[in-house]
Structure 1
Amino acid sequence: MRFRLIQFLAGAIIALFTQSVGAATPTERPMNVLFLVADDLNSWMLENADRYAGKVVAPNLRKLANSGVNFTRAYTAAPVCSPSRTAFFSGVAPWKSGIYNNAQTISSSEALNQDAVLSLAGLFKKSGYDTFGYGKITHGWDQKEHWDDKVGHKRDPAPPGAPLAKLSGGEQDWGPIHLTEEQMNDTGGANRAIAVLEKKHDKPFFLAYGSFNPHMPWYVPQTYFDMYPLDQIVLPELKEDDLDDLPPLAKGVSDGIGSFADKVIKSGKHKEAVQAYLATTTYVDTQMGRVLDALEKSPYKDNTIVVFLSDHGFHLGEKHHWQKTTLWEEGTHTLLMFRAPEVTTAGGMSERFVSLLDIYPTVAELCGLTPPAYIDGRSLVPLLRDPKAPWQSTAITGLCNKTKTDLAYISIRHELGRYTRYGAEEAEFYDTTKDPHEWTNQIDNPKYASTVKKLRALVPGFEDAAQPLPSALTKKRRETQQGKEKRSSSPFTL
């Protein structure tokens, strides 16, 4: 009996010693993060995009979506590149930071031009992670000191003879590129991300890769155009008088009658444009797939959280508009997918209305990190565990007037529909269960009066939007200013 007890204790001691010095189990190993971002990629590939589901060639992103939780009702905090990325990387909503468009500089924001705000990458670096960023990830608010290695994006050179579509100069163009796929900048960014996944790491890592595409101009190899024969292109449904029931400020958000969108349509090149957008989408899917494949072949596949998102949506003629910068479904609806080992289950799909602002606290919680107290958004971990869990919509989007940047417009997407405030007096409401295209503004319909009242109460008030700093952030900034002389020798400050 005594001998058996000694054997048992010896075995237990050996087991404990082996655990302490051997390879950690999946639950003990720190989680890495692979953070993937696409620019201007709309939601056509989602299964609820009935006209396009199955028509978009995106096998790699669909595979990722099916391997974890796919958020089919995710929305941007701002339908513009820099404000969106600044929001989800800082955790601070546009109606707090005041950053609404690309023309605004970060130095104009009291909330973001000081040391008080910690970027998502900064949180990981502060927590002992190596941080890598390649391609278009941030835009305007980089905080380069938060990255161990960062190489930004570059646009590919225009093909000889551009503009190829012959409708506009500048970025509103499309056609086959003269470069090989290997020579394209997004391919190079993917190569850098793959190289990180192929290395041995002594510390956990936060690795971000962002594609410039499918931002315009749409220049990709002819092979991708060939995947979408023109006679098989499905055009978005349009309504000629779609702007007639909008208030004046909302009409000002649209490019309007006679815009580039109308020019594309009336020139008979709408199918060509959609073909080019889809071709570029598939090129992006290919590059994302290469990075995801590298992860699968690496020793990190079982302890790496994968996040994929698009920074906002994209119009291709709907509401007489082209590109983004609107508060309608086309401009605000994004892609968002999470795969988190031991948390998500393959095939999960959540139809809860969530925000890209929710990414910061979610990734932090998954990795056991404490995010700053001032950040907006809510952790999606409950939905990652149970995609149908109760959830109050966080899908709020902000935009500013094109000429008066201090005039904020705010929209909320909710199970009840979409409600948008333009200034203090003008508004829209769409019953999206019956009107998914948002063709009929029901703001003055008494049938929806109680719904409008409820949604209006959920939208941040303009008195709140006028405040540049949330109270917790104001306090942190004041403490930071007072304690500048007492800071440690950290590679960056909080």
Structure 2
Amino acid sequence: MTNMNKIWLVFLLIVSSFGVTRADAADQPMNVLFLVADDLNSWLLDDADRYAGKVVAPNLRKLADSGVNFTRAYTAAPVCSPSRTAFFSGIAPWKSGIYNNAQTINKSEVVNGAEVLSLAGLFKKNGYGTFGYGKITHGWDQKEHWDDKVGHKRDPAPPGAPLAGLSRGEQDWGMIHLTEEQMNDTGGASKAIAVLEKQHDKPFFLAYGTFNPHMPWYVPKKYFDMYPLDQIVLPELKEDDLDDLSPLAKAVSDGIGSFADKVIESGQHKEAVQAYLATTTYVDTQFGRVLDALENSPYKDNTIVVFLTDHGFHLGEKHHWQKTTLWEEGTHTLLMFRAPGVSQTSDMSERFVSLMDIYPTLAELCGLAPPAYIDGRSLVPLLKDPKAPWESTAITGLCDKSKTDLAYISIRNELGRYTRYGANEEEFYDTTKDPHEWTNQIDTPEYATTVKTLRALVPSFEEAAQPLPSALTKERRETREKKKEKK
């Protein structure tokens, strides 16, 4: 062997040790890195820049700049389990009947004659290694479709909790007593990083989800220090914001005297927002660790990255705290895609899309055939051209807290937001003029044609009002009965 051949052989060995190069990435099976945050709202996207420049989230901003940032993405359900069940099963709530955390899809339940197949199941079925760490699903999963999966846990409350003194439940915040390394979301990120540091003999679907910024907000002091109280910008509120709402809508808001009002009246609104932002930055740090591990791995050029939040979050708007509403704060989510060879860098799409679109998008990008029954549409045309023509898929469903057979549906597109509560109560907001959704224009004559157009887009009320019989699992029923016995 000549010296030149020896040098060339050494070069090839060095290249192969680093895995896939950009030149041949398109010929390799695509891996998927699936990242999801809980309860993270869309302040990063704030049009008026009240918050966007003030949220310390360099890693998520970097990810957004590396692919397509969907600035008008919406959840299918503004509640943890229904949202995750929807985008992970591909079945919309108004078809599955899953509207609250106490429901789950039964394994035996079928849609059009086919057993429901989770997103992880689709990849497992097609030869992928599947790994999941942290809060990914909630209440519904197909454990047999994961090679390795470790669910989420809440960090223990600090001594002396509640620290804010307003609630003995999860609605609390303050500095945590643990080191950052001891926190569960940190541990989940470390497990995801370990997968990226391994050598794989087949493509992988790797999911990592954070429990935070779900309440309670307990994070290290350094994250609070990034947000001095005198620099906190509070959301704009309207005292009489509920006056033009129907009875069912007012019930959704929790109404006057809610926890949101308690926070404001106690003089702790800035402290609460500070804690939310501090927890947001902690979460950004963990996602950054995972994204850096991907960047330093052999898989960076043939791995699709998708980041999403399961729904939005209220911090006092509409006299409401947390989620479970059909207004902008509860339904608007973050959604970012980076697809090597398909998406361009620093692209932004303002088309109205849904988290339901994730399942068919990942299937198409990886050349897999999704189940025929799934809802949503592939976003691949928008990944190639963010301004391509698109019919809005942004529909959100909710149900009455006490009546699981009474569905509420909200439609969001360029015309505004139309919401129907049950059969007769409605709202319409012209979001081009009223981004806060402060003025319900449902009875304003000039919007009659617009309302009629949006009303026609609502899924069949008969279908929405009669969810599939998704009973509680045996385990949940037994837990609920034990709690009743203790009372």
Q: Do the two structures share a fold, i.e. TM-score over 0.5?
A: yes
The residue number in structure 1 matching 2:431 is 432
The residue number in structure 2 matching 1:347 is 346
Deviations 1:62-94 (A, max 9, x none): 000000000000000000000000000000000
Deviations 1:254-290 (A, max 9, x none): 1110011000000000000000000000000000000
The residue number in structure 2 matching 1:392 is 391
Point out where structure 2 has 5 or more consecutive residues left out of the alignment. 1-15, 469-487
CA distance in 1, matches of 2:256, 2:144: 46
The residue number in structure 2 matching 1:100 is 99
- TM-superposed CA distance for 1:311, in Å, is 0.1
The residue number in structure 2 matching 1:217 is 216
Contact 1:97/1:109 (<8 A) preserved: no
- TM-superposed CA distance for 1:110, in Å, is 4.2
CA distance in 1, matches of 2:224, 2:283: 13
Contact 2:20/2:301 (<8 A) preserved: no
Deviations 1:201-236 (A, max 9, x none): 000000000000000000000000000000000000
The residue number in structure 2 matching 1:334 is 333
- TM-superposed CA distance for 1:28, in Å, is 1.1
The residue number in structure 2 matching 1:254 is 253
The residue number in structure 1 matching 2:198 is 199
The residue number in structure 2 matching 1:13 is none
- TM-superposed CA distance for 1:461, in Å, is 1.9
Helix, strand or coil at the partner of 1:240? coil
The residue number in structure 1 matching 2:305 is 306
Task: Name the aligned partner's letter for residue 234 of structure 2.
Answer: L
The residue number in structure 2 matching 1:291 is 290
Alignment of 1:356-395 (within 5 A): 356-395=355-394
Helix, strand or coil at the partner of 1:253? helix
Deviation above 6 Å: which 4+ runs of structure 1? Answer: none
Residues 441/111 of structure 1: CA separation in 2 closer, same or farther (3 Å cut): farther
Larger displacement relative to structure 2 (48-57 or 289-298): 48-57
Q: How many residues align?
A: 449
Helix, strand or coil at the partner of 2:427? strand
Task: Name the aligned partner's letter for residue 250 of structure 1.
Answer: A
The residue number in structure 2 matching 1:78 is 77
CA distance in 2, matches of 1:332, 1:108: 28
CA distance in 1, matches of 2:338, 2:48: 22
CA distance in 1, matches of 2:108, 2:398: 15
The residue number in structure 2 matching 1:454 is 453
Alignment of 1:132-143 (within 5 A): 132-143=131-142
Helix, strand or coil at the partner of 1:399? strand
Contact 1:111/1:468 (<8 A) preserved: no
Contact 1:180/1:221 (<8 A) preserved: yes
Contact 2:33/2:304 (<8 A) preserved: yes
CA distance in 2, matches of 1:234, 1:467: 43
Contact 1:348/1:387 (<8 A) preserved: yes
TM-score in terms of structure 1 length: 0.89
The residue number in structure 1 matching 2:26 is 27
Residues 276/23 of structure 1: CA separation in 2 closer, same or farther (3 Å cut): closer
CA distance in 1, matches of 2:268, 2:36: 29
Contact 2:406/2:465 (<8 A) preserved: no
CA distance in 2, matches of 1:300, 1:317: 42
CA distance in 1, matches of 2:83, 2:103: 13
CA distance in 1, matches of 2:415, 2:458: 13
1:273 aligns with 2:282: no
CA distance in 2, matches of 1:369, 1:165: 49
Contact 2:405/2:466 (<8 A) preserved: no
TM-score in terms of structure 2 length: 0.90
1:123 aligns with 2:125: no
- TM-superposed CA distance for 1:47, in Å, is 4.8
Helix, strand or coil at the partner of 1:45? helix
Contact 2:154/2:184 (<8 A) preserved: yes
The residue number in structure 2 matching 1:473 is none
CA distance in 2, matches of 1:260, 1:188: 32
Contact 2:108/2:115 (<8 A) preserved: no
Residues 194/405 of structure 1: CA separation in 2 closer, same or farther (3 Å cut): same
Contact 2:59/2:284 (<8 A) preserved: yes
For the aligned residue pairs, the C-alpha RMSD in angstroms reads 1.7
Alignment of 1:113-192 (within 5 A): 116-192=115-191
Contact 1:98/1:109 (<8 A) preserved: no
CA distance in 1, matches of 2:260, 2:206: 37
Residues 111/449 of structure 1: CA separation in 2 closer, same or farther (3 Å cut): farther
Contact 1:110/1:468 (<8 A) preserved: no
Deviations 1:318-374 (A, max 9, x none): 000000000000000000000000100001000000000000000000000010000
CA distance in 2, matches of 1:246, 1:94: 24
- TM-superposed CA distance for 1:60, in Å, is 0.1
Task: Name the aligned partner's letter for residue 416 of structure 1.
Answer: L
CA distance in 1, matches of 2:214, 2:433: 31
